[in-house]
Amino acid sequence: MMSLRSVGLCFILVAGVGLAKGRNEATLTKFYGKVRLFKNPSQNKDGPGPFAKVGGTYFTVVKAAKGATLKPFERIQTGSRSKAKLVYSNGDQITVSANTAYEVSLEGESGVKKPVYDMIFGKIRGLIRGDGPRHGMKVRSNTMVMGVRGTDFFVAARGKSGHTEVSVLRGQVEVTPRQPNAKPVKVDSGFTISVPKVQPKPKGQANDPLSDLKVSTVKVEPTTKAAVAEIYQETIITAKQSQEEQEIVPPKVKAQLEQLERKAVEATRDDIKKHDPVLFEKIRNIPVQKIESADDLQAITTKKAFDAAPKAKASKARFKDLENSDIYDKYFSD
C-alpha cells in the first residue's frame, strides 16, 4: 500500500476519467511533473490496486491523464516541481502549484451548493467568472476565509510560518481573518493581504472565552515584484513544460480538451475586459482562435503586474523568467 506522508504532495478533490459534464466537475487539461489520481473512495480495498489510505478512506491510485474528470471526494496528487490545471465547463480555472494540499467541499442552503476550498498548505491561482456557478465560492485556510465574487487571485498558505497571503491580479476579494471579532477586508487588484495565525495570549488574562487568543496584525500592501514573480513561477505552465509532458490523447478527448481551452480563453478574456480595460484594448484585436492558451493571457496579465509592481528584495533569479519574458512579443508588435 502506498503512503501519503511525503511532504511534496498536492491533494485536491477530484474525479474519475472522461470529460466533466456537471457544473461542479472540472477536467485536468494539462499537467507538468508527477501527477497521480486517487479514485474510487471506499472504506475497503475494492478492485485492483495499488491503494492509498487517507483518513480512513482507501483510494485506487492511477497515473493522471489529460481529460480525467475532477469532482468531490476523489483526489489528485502532484509531486515536487509539478503543476496541474483544472478547467470547468464554463471556463473557470484552478492552477495548482507543487507542494500543495487542499480539499474541496460543497456547502450551502436551499439546494444551492458552492465550492469551499480548504487550504492545508501550498499555493493555488484561480480565475472565476462573476456570472458563473462558482460566484460566491470560498477559500479557507487556518488564518482566513476568502469570498470570491469573480476575479483572478492567488492564495499561498505558508505551512512553516502558518500565515496566509492572498494576492489579487484582477477584480476584488473579501478576506475575513479567523480572529476574534474580525471584520471582512476588501482586497483590490494589485494588492496582497497577509493574515498571520492567531497567537496565544500570555496567561493570567481576564476570563473571556477568547482570552487565550491574541489578535494579530493583518496587512494589506501593494503586491511586490517578488510576489508577482512567485505567482508566475508557481502557476503558469509554460509551453516548454507542456512539451515535456507529451501524451497520446484520443482524437475525441483532444477535441474536447481544445474546446475547454477555448472556454478558458474566453473566460480569461472576458475577465480582462471587465477588470482591466487598458489591457483589453491591447488584446481585443487578437483573434480569439489565435490565442493558443489561457495561460498566455494569464502570463500577459502577470507580466503587466510585474512591470507595475514596486520592487522588493529578492534574488535576480526569481525575476529571470518575467524580466526576459517574450510573451508580449508573441502577440504584440509595436
For residues 259 and 207, the model is more confident at 259
Share of the chain residues as helix, strand and coil, in percent rounded to the nearest 5: 25, 35, 40
- Cα 82 to Cα 59, 77, 137, 224, 315: the distances in Å are 21, 9, 25, 24, 22
Would you list the domain boundaries of the chain?
239-331
Query: Whole-angstrom distance between the N-terminal and C-terminal Cα of the chain?
Result: 58
pLDDT tens, position by position, 50-100 = 998 988 889 888 888 899 887 777 777 778 999 999 999 999 999 988 988
For the chain, how big is the Rg over CA atoms in Å?
A: 20
pLDDT tens, position by position, 16-44 = 445 555 788 889 999 988 888 777 889 99
pLDDT at res. 262: 95
b/e map of 77-101 (b: 16 or more CB within 10 Å)? bbeeebbbbbbbbbbbbbbbbbbbb
pLDDT tens, position by position, 98-129 = 988 777 888 887 778 888 988 888 899 999 99
Residue with cell 474546446: 259
